[in-house]
Amino acid sequence: MVFDLLLRIALAGALGGLIGMERQLRSKEAGLRTHVLVGIGSAMFMIVSKYGFSDILGASHIELDPSRIAAQVVSGMGFLGAGTIIIQKQMVKGLTTAAGLWVTAAIGLVVGSGMYEIGIYGTLLALVVLETFRRISYRFIGRNLTLIFQLKPKSVPLVLIALQRREVRTGKVILAHRDAETGLCEMMVDVTLSRKVVPEKMYDVLLEINGVQSLEIH
């Protein structure tokens, strides 16, 4: 019995590590170690919730709900996932990583309860969504990026025209107030790049625009 429980904890950590490895390869906020710990912790909570009070359940006046501790993992993951979400000037980043942590917790609970096949299947499905669907999205929809410029206000229309000429689809455009000392303002633009657009070449072209001081691509 003890060996089986130890196996559940190790398997939950390993499955969580597979998802965390994919996130770390993408340089996301939560990587390998975070996902391994979430998987291990979730499995341990499930084991405690399911088996941890067997020594007192024999008493006639005691009744316990075996799902009470495991249910709190779902709520607790909301706080941990919120820590990976970055809100910067009305732009939200990290939702996929937060969802990955949530799924990792679910995998840990499933494996901790002894349903190995479901946990392995859930891990494989999550990896398919994260990797294969990402490639499908890039192929048919394009790659979503955020461009952050430091530039002079008169250069804003020049940048937007340059993006249009390179067949880059633009989304939300946010323009911050001009700095009184430098005369520069910050512009954030959501763009979708087709497969034929090379980000490095686009970066060089945009930096050559008169008045553009710096450019970050996220």
Whether 23 and 131 have beta carbons less than 8 Å apart is answered as: no
Average pLDDT over residues 159-178: 86
Shared domain for 133 and 147, answered yes or no, is no
99 closest CA partner among 29, 49, 146: 29
Q: In this model, does residue 73 exceed pLDDT 90?
A: no
Q: In this model, does residue 5 exceed pLDDT 70?
A: yes
Q: In this model, does residue 109 exceed pLDDT 90?
A: yes
Shared domain for 162 and 78, answered yes or no, is no
Three-state SS sequence of the chain: CHHHHHHHHHHHHHHHHHHHHHHHHCCCCCCHHHHHHHHHHHHHHHHHHHHCCCCCCCCCCCCCCCCHHHHHHHHHHHHHHHCCCEEECCEEECHHHHHHHHHHHHHHHHHHCCCHHHHHHHHHHHHHHHHHHHHHHHHHCCEEEEEEEEECHHHHHHHHHHHHHCCCEEEEEEECCCCCCCCCEEEEEEEEECCCCCHHHHHHHHHCCCCEEEEEEC
Number of domains present in the structure of the chain: 2
- Domain edge (last residue) among 140, 158, 182: 140
The model's pTM: 0.72
Instruction: Give me 53's structure tokens.
Output: 């009070």
Three-state SS sequence of 67-111: CHHHHHHHHHHHHHHHCCCEEECCEEECHHHHHHHHHHHHHHHHH
Shared domain for 162 and 55, answered yes or no, is no
Domain residue limits at 165: 143-217
Shared domain for 105 and 176, answered yes or no, is no
Average pLDDT over residues 139-156: 87
Shared domain for 9 and 63, answered yes or no, is yes
Higher pLDDT, 95 or 66: 95
Shared domain for 84 and 163, answered yes or no, is no
Amino acid at 31: G
| Per-residue model confidence (pLDDT) at position 214 | 92
Shared domain for 102 and 153, answered yes or no, is no
Confidence of residue 125 (pLDDT cuts 50, 70, 90): very high
Average pLDDT over residues 134-144: 79
Shared domain for 99 and 152, answered yes or no, is no
- Domain edge (last residue) among 118, 140, 162: 140
CATH number reported for the structural domain that contains residue 200 in this entry: 3.30.70.260
Shared domain for 6 and 100, answered yes or no, is yes
37 closest CA partner among 119, 122, 130, 101: 101
d(C-alpha 15, C-alpha 201), whole Å: 38
Confidence of residue 81 (pLDDT cuts 50, 70, 90): confident
Question: Which segment, 64-78, 110-124, 139-153, 177-191, is predicted with the most confidence on average?
Answer: 110-124
Q: Which of 1-5, 110-114, 121-125 has the lowest mean pLDDT?
A: 1-5
Shared domain for 50 and 64, answered yes or no, is yes
Shared domain for 31 and 112, answered yes or no, is yes
Shared domain for 50 and 135, answered yes or no, is yes
